[in-house]
Amino acid sequence: MKQTTISPVAWALMGLLALIWGGSFPSNRLALAEVGVLTTVAFRVLVGALVMWGVVWARGIALPRGRRIWAGFLGMGLLNNAIPFTLIVWGQTRIDSGLAAILNAATAILGVAVAAAVFRDERLGLRKGAGVLLGFTGVAIAIGIGALARFDPGSLGQLAVLGAALSYAFAGAFGRVTTRGMAPELAAAGMLSAAALVMVPAALLVEGVPSLDLAPATWGALAYLAVIATAGAYVLYYRVMQMAGAGNLSLVTLLVAPVAIVLGAVMFGEALPLRAYLGFALLAVGLIVIDGRIFRRRAALQKSRDPAAGQG
Protein backbone atom coordinates (compact mmCIF):
# COMPACT_ATOMS: atom_id res chain seq x y z
CA MET A 1 0.00 0.00 0.00
CA LYS A 2 1.33 3.41 -0.94
CA GLN A 3 2.13 5.59 2.07
CA THR A 4 1.06 9.23 1.81
CA THR A 5 1.35 10.27 5.46
CA ILE A 6 4.11 10.01 8.04
CA SER A 7 3.28 9.13 11.63
CA PRO A 8 5.00 10.92 14.55
CA VAL A 9 6.98 7.74 15.28
CA ALA A 10 8.15 7.55 11.65
CA TRP A 11 9.17 11.22 11.75
CA ALA A 12 11.16 10.55 14.92
CA LEU A 13 12.93 7.58 13.33
CA MET A 14 13.63 9.60 10.17
CA GLY A 15 15.16 12.31 12.34
CA LEU A 16 17.32 9.71 14.08
CA LEU A 17 18.42 8.32 10.72
CA ALA A 18 19.32 11.83 9.55
CA LEU A 19 21.38 12.36 12.70
CA ILE A 20 23.20 9.07 12.13
CA TRP A 21 24.00 9.71 8.48
CA GLY A 22 24.78 13.37 9.13
CA GLY A 23 27.34 12.22 11.69
CA SER A 24 29.12 10.06 9.11
CA PHE A 25 30.60 13.11 7.37
CA PRO A 26 32.53 14.50 10.38
CA SER A 27 33.40 10.90 11.32
CA ASN A 28 35.05 10.48 7.92
CA ARG A 29 37.10 13.59 8.60
CA LEU A 30 38.15 12.33 12.04
CA ALA A 31 39.19 8.95 10.65
CA LEU A 32 41.21 10.53 7.84
CA ALA A 33 43.51 12.17 10.38
CA GLU A 34 45.28 8.82 10.85
CA VAL A 35 43.80 6.34 8.36
CA GLY A 36 43.88 6.31 4.57
CA VAL A 37 40.84 6.67 2.35
CA LEU A 38 40.70 3.05 1.21
CA THR A 39 41.39 1.68 4.69
CA THR A 40 38.59 3.80 6.15
CA VAL A 41 36.12 2.44 3.61
CA ALA A 42 37.41 -1.14 3.94
CA PHE A 43 36.95 -1.08 7.72
CA ARG A 44 33.46 0.35 7.35
CA VAL A 45 32.16 -2.25 4.90
CA LEU A 46 33.94 -5.23 6.52
CA VAL A 47 32.75 -4.60 10.07
CA GLY A 48 29.35 -3.48 8.78
CA ALA A 49 29.01 -6.78 6.90
CA LEU A 50 29.90 -8.82 9.99
CA VAL A 51 27.29 -6.99 12.05
CA MET A 52 24.63 -7.44 9.36
CA TRP A 53 25.33 -11.18 9.07
CA GLY A 54 24.78 -11.33 12.82
CA VAL A 55 21.38 -9.69 12.28
CA VAL A 56 20.57 -12.17 9.48
CA TRP A 57 21.50 -15.11 11.73
CA ALA A 58 19.56 -13.73 14.71
CA ARG A 59 16.41 -13.36 12.61
CA GLY A 60 16.73 -16.81 11.06
CA ILE A 61 16.81 -15.54 7.48
CA ALA A 62 17.70 -18.26 4.97
CA LEU A 63 20.81 -17.75 2.88
CA PRO A 64 20.32 -17.32 -0.88
CA ARG A 65 21.50 -19.80 -3.47
CA GLY A 66 22.55 -19.24 -7.04
CA ARG A 67 25.25 -17.31 -8.84
CA ARG A 68 22.83 -14.68 -10.11
CA ILE A 69 21.97 -13.52 -6.60
CA TRP A 70 25.60 -13.25 -5.55
CA ALA A 71 26.43 -11.45 -8.78
CA GLY A 72 23.67 -9.00 -7.86
CA PHE A 73 25.27 -8.53 -4.43
CA LEU A 74 28.55 -7.71 -6.17
CA GLY A 75 26.90 -5.09 -8.35
CA MET A 76 25.11 -3.54 -5.38
CA GLY A 77 28.26 -3.69 -3.27
CA LEU A 78 30.13 -1.70 -5.88
CA LEU A 79 27.39 0.81 -6.70
CA ASN A 80 25.94 1.32 -3.22
CA ASN A 81 29.02 0.94 -1.02
CA ALA A 82 32.52 0.60 -2.44
CA ILE A 83 32.37 3.31 -5.10
CA PRO A 84 30.30 5.99 -3.32
CA PHE A 85 31.96 5.52 0.09
CA THR A 86 35.39 5.86 -1.51
CA LEU A 87 34.45 8.92 -3.56
CA ILE A 88 32.87 10.67 -0.57
CA VAL A 89 35.79 9.97 1.76
CA TRP A 90 38.30 11.02 -0.89
CA GLY A 91 36.25 14.12 -1.63
CA GLN A 92 36.35 15.04 2.05
CA THR A 93 40.12 15.26 1.89
CA ARG A 94 39.51 18.33 -0.28
CA ILE A 95 36.19 19.89 0.78
CA ASP A 96 34.35 20.51 4.05
CA SER A 97 32.04 17.82 5.40
CA GLY A 98 29.03 20.16 5.29
CA LEU A 99 29.48 20.83 1.58
CA ALA A 100 29.98 17.11 0.95
CA ALA A 101 26.63 16.42 2.64
CA ILE A 102 24.90 19.09 0.53
CA LEU A 103 26.22 17.61 -2.70
CA ASN A 104 25.36 14.10 -1.53
CA ALA A 105 21.75 15.26 -1.17
CA ALA A 106 21.66 15.31 -4.97
CA THR A 107 21.23 11.53 -4.73
CA ALA A 108 17.45 11.93 -4.58
CA ILE A 109 17.39 14.14 -7.67
CA LEU A 110 19.75 11.90 -9.62
CA GLY A 111 17.80 8.83 -8.53
CA VAL A 112 14.65 10.21 -10.14
CA ALA A 113 16.55 11.04 -13.35
CA VAL A 114 18.19 7.60 -13.58
CA ALA A 115 14.92 5.77 -12.84
CA ALA A 116 13.20 7.78 -15.57
CA ALA A 117 15.85 6.72 -18.06
CA VAL A 118 15.70 3.03 -17.08
CA PHE A 119 12.10 2.20 -16.16
CA ARG A 120 8.99 2.84 -18.23
CA ASP A 121 6.82 3.38 -15.14
CA GLU A 122 9.18 6.08 -13.82
CA ARG A 123 9.00 8.53 -16.72
CA LEU A 124 9.41 12.21 -15.96
CA GLY A 125 6.27 14.28 -16.17
CA LEU A 126 6.17 18.06 -16.16
CA ARG A 127 6.27 18.32 -12.36
CA LYS A 128 9.09 15.83 -11.86
CA GLY A 129 11.04 17.30 -14.76
CA ALA A 130 10.78 20.75 -13.19
CA GLY A 131 11.93 19.33 -9.86
CA VAL A 132 14.95 17.67 -11.41
CA LEU A 133 15.88 20.90 -13.20
CA LEU A 134 15.60 22.87 -9.95
CA GLY A 135 17.73 20.28 -8.17
CA PHE A 136 20.48 20.37 -10.77
CA THR A 137 20.46 24.17 -10.70
CA GLY A 138 20.86 24.03 -6.92
CA VAL A 139 23.84 21.69 -7.22
CA ALA A 140 25.47 24.00 -9.79
CA ILE A 141 25.02 26.98 -7.47
CA ALA A 142 26.42 25.07 -4.48
CA ILE A 143 29.52 24.09 -6.44
CA GLY A 144 30.00 27.44 -8.12
CA ILE A 145 30.43 27.67 -11.87
CA GLY A 146 33.78 29.39 -11.50
CA ALA A 147 35.12 26.55 -9.35
CA LEU A 148 34.23 23.99 -11.99
CA ALA A 149 36.03 25.99 -14.64
CA ARG A 150 39.27 25.91 -12.60
CA PHE A 151 39.25 22.19 -11.78
CA ASP A 152 41.34 22.77 -8.66
CA PRO A 153 41.54 20.16 -5.84
CA GLY A 154 38.41 21.59 -4.24
CA SER A 155 36.50 21.26 -7.50
CA LEU A 156 37.65 17.68 -7.93
CA GLY A 157 36.48 16.93 -4.40
CA GLN A 158 33.04 18.27 -5.20
CA LEU A 159 32.86 16.27 -8.42
CA ALA A 160 33.88 13.14 -6.50
CA VAL A 161 30.94 13.55 -4.10
CA LEU A 162 28.60 14.14 -7.04
CA GLY A 163 29.99 10.97 -8.59
CA ALA A 164 29.07 9.17 -5.37
CA ALA A 165 25.53 10.54 -5.59
CA LEU A 166 25.29 9.28 -9.17
CA SER A 167 26.53 5.85 -8.08
CA TYR A 168 23.84 5.75 -5.38
CA ALA A 169 21.26 6.65 -8.03
CA PHE A 170 22.31 3.75 -10.26
CA ALA A 171 22.34 1.49 -7.21
CA GLY A 172 18.71 2.35 -6.59
CA ALA A 173 17.74 1.29 -10.10
CA PHE A 174 19.96 -1.80 -9.99
CA GLY A 175 18.64 -2.82 -6.58
CA ARG A 176 15.03 -2.56 -7.75
CA VAL A 177 15.74 -5.44 -10.12
CA THR A 178 18.26 -7.58 -8.21
CA THR A 179 16.94 -7.48 -4.64
CA ARG A 180 13.20 -7.68 -5.35
CA GLY A 181 11.44 -9.90 -2.81
CA MET A 182 14.60 -10.34 -0.72
CA ALA A 183 14.79 -9.69 3.01
CA PRO A 184 16.41 -6.22 3.33
CA GLU A 185 18.77 -7.39 6.07
CA LEU A 186 20.07 -10.11 3.75
CA ALA A 187 20.47 -7.67 0.86
CA ALA A 188 22.48 -5.31 3.09
CA ALA A 189 24.69 -8.12 4.41
CA GLY A 190 25.32 -9.47 0.91
CA MET A 191 26.26 -6.18 -0.71
CA LEU A 192 28.47 -5.11 2.21
CA SER A 193 30.28 -8.45 2.00
CA ALA A 194 30.82 -7.99 -1.73
CA ALA A 195 32.11 -4.47 -1.11
CA ALA A 196 34.50 -5.81 1.54
CA LEU A 197 35.85 -8.42 -0.90
CA VAL A 198 36.82 -5.51 -3.17
CA MET A 199 37.90 -2.87 -0.65
CA VAL A 200 39.99 -4.92 1.80
CA PRO A 201 42.47 -6.20 -0.84
CA ALA A 202 42.54 -2.74 -2.47
CA ALA A 203 43.33 -1.05 0.85
CA LEU A 204 46.08 -3.56 1.70
CA LEU A 205 47.61 -3.27 -1.77
CA VAL A 206 47.59 0.53 -1.97
CA GLU A 207 47.91 1.64 1.67
CA GLY A 208 49.47 -1.40 3.32
CA VAL A 209 48.62 -3.06 6.62
CA PRO A 210 47.03 -0.39 8.83
CA SER A 211 48.48 0.51 12.21
CA LEU A 212 46.44 -0.44 15.26
CA ASP A 213 48.07 2.30 17.30
CA LEU A 214 45.37 4.87 16.65
CA ALA A 215 43.96 7.64 18.80
CA PRO A 216 40.70 6.85 20.66
CA ALA A 217 38.91 9.47 18.52
CA THR A 218 40.00 7.66 15.36
CA TRP A 219 38.81 4.28 16.65
CA GLY A 220 35.56 5.89 17.72
CA ALA A 221 35.04 7.40 14.27
CA LEU A 222 35.75 4.07 12.53
CA ALA A 223 33.42 2.19 14.88
CA TYR A 224 30.70 4.78 14.35
CA LEU A 225 31.00 4.52 10.56
CA ALA A 226 30.82 0.72 10.54
CA VAL A 227 28.43 -0.17 13.33
CA ILE A 228 26.14 2.88 13.59
CA ALA A 229 26.25 4.67 10.21
CA THR A 230 26.27 1.45 8.16
CA ALA A 231 24.81 -1.61 9.90
CA GLY A 232 22.58 0.27 12.34
CA ALA A 233 21.46 2.75 9.68
CA TYR A 234 20.46 -0.07 7.30
CA VAL A 235 18.27 -1.71 9.95
CA LEU A 236 16.67 1.64 10.80
CA TYR A 237 16.32 2.60 7.11
CA TYR A 238 14.26 -0.46 6.23
CA ARG A 239 12.19 -0.10 9.40
CA VAL A 240 11.24 3.45 8.42
CA MET A 241 10.55 2.33 4.84
CA GLN A 242 8.00 -0.18 6.14
CA MET A 243 6.32 2.52 8.22
CA ALA A 244 6.38 5.49 5.85
CA GLY A 245 7.11 4.17 2.35
CA ALA A 246 10.07 4.72 0.03
CA GLY A 247 8.77 8.04 -1.30
CA ASN A 248 8.47 9.57 2.14
CA LEU A 249 11.85 8.16 3.15
CA SER A 250 13.55 10.15 0.38
CA LEU A 251 12.91 13.25 2.51
CA VAL A 252 15.70 12.07 4.83
CA THR A 253 18.19 13.46 2.34
CA LEU A 254 16.92 16.95 3.18
CA LEU A 255 17.60 16.37 6.87
CA VAL A 256 21.09 14.88 6.60
CA ALA A 257 22.81 17.96 5.16
CA PRO A 258 21.81 20.41 7.95
CA VAL A 259 23.02 17.90 10.56
CA ALA A 260 26.39 17.55 8.83
CA ILE A 261 26.69 21.32 8.43
CA VAL A 262 26.08 21.94 12.15
CA LEU A 263 28.44 19.16 13.23
CA GLY A 264 31.13 20.38 10.85
CA ALA A 265 30.84 23.91 12.21
CA VAL A 266 30.91 22.80 15.87
CA MET A 267 33.63 20.15 15.57
CA PHE A 268 35.93 21.67 12.96
CA GLY A 269 34.93 25.31 12.66
CA GLU A 270 33.81 24.86 9.05
CA ALA A 271 32.21 27.88 7.43
CA LEU A 272 30.51 27.30 4.10
CA PRO A 273 30.05 30.02 1.48
CA LEU A 274 26.60 31.56 1.03
CA ARG A 275 26.19 29.91 -2.36
CA ALA A 276 26.31 26.47 -0.67
CA TYR A 277 23.25 27.31 1.43
CA LEU A 278 21.45 28.86 -1.53
CA GLY A 279 22.19 25.82 -3.63
CA PHE A 280 20.93 23.46 -0.95
CA ALA A 281 17.73 25.50 -0.59
CA LEU A 282 17.07 25.21 -4.33
CA LEU A 283 17.91 21.50 -4.28
CA ALA A 284 15.44 21.05 -1.42
CA VAL A 285 12.74 22.87 -3.40
CA GLY A 286 13.42 20.56 -6.33
CA LEU A 287 12.93 17.47 -4.17
CA ILE A 288 9.74 18.89 -2.67
CA VAL A 289 8.40 19.54 -6.19
CA ILE A 290 9.25 15.97 -7.21
CA ASP A 291 7.57 14.62 -4.07
CA GLY A 292 4.41 16.52 -5.02
CA ARG A 293 2.49 16.13 -1.78
CA ILE A 294 2.37 19.88 -1.14
CA PHE A 295 0.47 20.34 -4.41
CA ARG A 296 -1.89 17.45 -3.65
CA ARG A 297 -2.67 18.89 -0.23
CA ARG A 298 -3.30 22.33 -1.72
CA ALA A 299 -5.66 20.88 -4.31
CA ALA A 300 -7.49 18.87 -1.63
CA LEU A 301 -7.81 21.97 0.55
CA GLN A 302 -9.24 24.02 -2.30
CA LYS A 303 -11.68 21.23 -3.14
CA SER A 304 -12.85 21.05 0.48
CA ARG A 305 -13.46 24.80 0.50
CA ASP A 306 -15.26 24.74 -2.86
CA PRO A 307 -16.89 21.31 -3.40
CA ALA A 308 -18.32 22.50 -6.69
CA ALA A 309 -14.85 23.16 -8.13
CA GLY A 310 -14.03 20.94 -11.05
CA GLN A 311 -17.66 19.88 -11.58
CA GLY A 312 -19.38 20.64 -14.84
pTM: 0.82
* Better pLDDT: 65 or 194: 194
- Report the first-to-last Cα separation within the chain, whole angstroms: 32
* Residue 200: closest CA among 50, 18, 7, 21: 50
The verdict on residue 229 lying in a domain is yes
Mean pLDDT value across residues 101-113? 77
Q: Which helix (H) or strand (E) holds 88?
A: helix 83-91
* Better pLDDT: 165 or 90: 90
The verdict on residue 4 lying in a domain is no
Overall size of the chain counted in residues: 312
pLDDT at 149: 59
Domain that holds residue 197: 9-292
pLDDT at 91: 94
* pLDDT band, very low/low/confident/very high, at 50 (cuts 50, 70, 90): very high
The verdict on residue 298 lying in a domain is no
pLDDT at 312: 43
pLDDT at 1: 41
What b/e readout covers 160-180, taking b as 16+ CB neighbours within 10 angstroms? bbbbbbbbbbbbbbbbeebbe
Question: Ranked by mean pLDDT, which of 30-34, 101-105, 159-163, 164-168 comes out on top?
Answer: 30-34
The verdict on residue 46 lying in a domain is yes
The verdict on residue 306 lying in a domain is no
What's the total number of domains in the chain? 1
The verdict on residue 278 lying in a domain is yes
The verdict on residue 301 lying in a domain is no
Q: Given a cut of 70, is residue 35 above it in pLDDT?
A: yes
For 179, 196, 215, 277, 280, the CA distances from 191, given in Å and listed in that order, are 10, 9, 30, 34, 30
